[in-house]
Structure 1
Amino acid sequence: MSLMRRDPWRELASFREGINRLIDETIGRRFPFPGWSEWKPSVDVLDKGNEYVVRADLPGYNPEDIEIKVTETSVSIRGEIKEEKEIKEGDYLVRERNFGSFARTIPLSTPIKPEECRSRFKNGILEIILPKADAAKGRILEIETE
């Protein structure tokens, strides 16, 4: 007799995650019908204490193809690659490269200073440095008596 209880909901959640991962890896990123699935770049967000660092994989993009918008509480990345229209060398045997646009917004848990943010792009990797705003400091009020 086992003292541990079986949790069918946990097993079902694990199964659902596996199915979602399978779909994403096989057809989710390159589904042949526009609008059915949207490609989004892989993103890492690091908390370095006094700043956030966001790194996004954008292979095939040029800096002119990318727009970054920062607010006090989020960073948004948009990009677009136009499809090559005139291919005259031959017919495709395999066509897997992505074309089109993407948009990604990353919420931040600590306010940042938009005016001090900076970015750089090298070897298909976009890096955005987001300095954190100083935390609002409170004070203890003295109670006046008459």
Structure 2
Amino acid sequence: MREIHDTDQSHTAPVDVMDDGDRFVVQADIPGYESEDIDLRLEDEQTLWIDVDEDARRSSSDTDYVDRQRPDRSGTVTVDVPDPVDGTEASATYERGVLTVRLPKADGVDGRTIEISER
């Protein structure tokens, strides 16, 4: 398991990396976020960065909490894949707390941001 590191605590994010022939499929369990809270980027053709940043505005200060145990969470998970991938053809979905990123295998392609689509 990889850790999502933030300033207050670390929590684990189970991540699977599967070789699906012509692509790698990365699945990460990161429940409790909205897709707009997750940024993906591919660097060096082999490193996927998953940045999560829970919008602090959702925990508005005008709310009177009796007890609050779920902190605002943000952090980063990095995932290395064994072979270079084509970031221009990468895709991602986020459904029920599971982020699925599809990374087609390729050679000599620069990194880029990956958009997450809703299902």
Residues paired across the two proteins, number: 100
Cα deviation, residue 82, structure 1:
3.5
User: CA distance change for structure 1 residues 42 and 86 in 2, over 3 Å: closer, same or farther?
Assistant: farther
Task: Normalising by structure 1, report the TM-score.
Answer: 0.59
The one-letter code of the counterpart of 1:81 is E
Contact conserved, 1:40 with 1:103, CA < 8 A, in 2? no
Contact conserved, 2:92 with 2:99, CA < 8 A, in 1? yes
- Calculate the aligned-residue CA RMSD, in Å: 2.4
Could you list the runs of 5+ residues in structure 2 that have no partner in the other structure? 108-119
Distance 1:129 1:103 in 2: 19
| 3-state SS in 2 of match to 1:75 | strand
Alpha-carbon displacement from aligned partner over 1:57-97 (angstroms, at most 9, x marks no partner): 12121111110001311111001113423332x511x62x2
User: CA distance change for structure 1 residues 41 and 98 in 2, over 3 Å: closer, same or farther?
Assistant: farther
Could you list the runs of 5+ residues in structure 1 that have no partner in the other structure? 1-27, 135-146
1:87 to 46, 51, 63: 63
- 1:74 corresponds to: 47
Higher relative contact order (CA 8 A, sep 6+): 2
2:9 to 13, 23, 37: 37
Cα deviation, residue 40, structure 1:
4.1
Structure 1 segments, 4+ long, off by >6 Å, are: none
User: CA distance change for structure 1 residues 61 and 36 in 2, over 3 Å: closer, same or farther?
Assistant: closer
Identity level (%): 29
